[in-house]
Amino acid sequence: MESKNVTYHPESLEQKLERYRPDPAIRVVMLPKDTNALGSIFGGVILSQLDLAASEEARIAAGRNVVTKVINEVDFVAPVEVGDWVSFYTRTERVGRTSVTVHVLVVAHRGHRRDELFQVTDAEVVFVAVDEEGKPAEVLREE
């Protein structure tokens, strides 16, 4: 069989961002209190903000309270430094009967003009809509 010369063009960050809401759900500046023993930003700080940003997106989609059920694979592809401005962009991927799946893209902005942009990580987060007793409840669909 003839072998084909296939060139792979990775998607740019700008192209990825087009699939998310234009405004990030959360944007924060990283401070020394957020660092690990190496002096870079502790992954748990990013995870916490990622969960919070995704939950805001899911709450809007569900029209009621939601709890985090699953955070799928989080691969940190670049370190975040003190002083970086970090944006958490979200989009609703799927609305089920009681669940909402959200995608989050984490982007760091570096430099005085915040014009050095790079991806930190991305993740899929599944939320379950709950009633007042914390039991799964159907999402409230808009009329």
Ligand X SMILES: CC(C)(COP(=O)(O)OP(=O)(O)OC[C@H]1O[C@@H](n2cnc3c(N)ncnc32)[C@H](O)[C@@H]1OP(=O)(O)O)[C@@H](O)C(=O)NCCC(=O)NCCS
Which stretches of the chain bind ligand X, using CB under 6 A? 67-70, 96-99, 126, 128, 130, 134, 136
User: Are 118 and 107 within 8 A, CB to CB?
Assistant: yes
Q: Which is nearer to ligand X, 82 or 130 (CB)?
A: 130
Q: How far is the CB of 139 from ligand X (least distance, A)?
A: 8
Q: Which is nearer to ligand X, 97 or 114 (CB)?
A: 97
User: Are 101 and 69 within 8 A, CB to CB?
Assistant: no
Q: How far is the CB of 70 from ligand X (least distance, A)?
A: 5
How does 28-53 read in b/e, with b if 16+ C-beta sit within 10 Å? bebeeebbeeeeebbbebbbebbbeb
Q: How far is the CB of 116 from ligand X (least distance, A)?
A: 34
Q: How far is the CB of 130 from ligand X (least distance, A)?
A: 5
E strand or H helix that includes residue 77: none
Q: Which is nearer to ligand X, 18 or 73 (CB)?
A: 73
Q: Which is nearer to ligand X, 21 or 97 (CB)?
A: 97
Q: Is 18 helix (H, G, I), strand (E, B) or coil?
A: coil
From the CA atom positions of the chain, what is the Rg in Å?
18
Nearest residue to the partner ligand X, using Cβ:
96
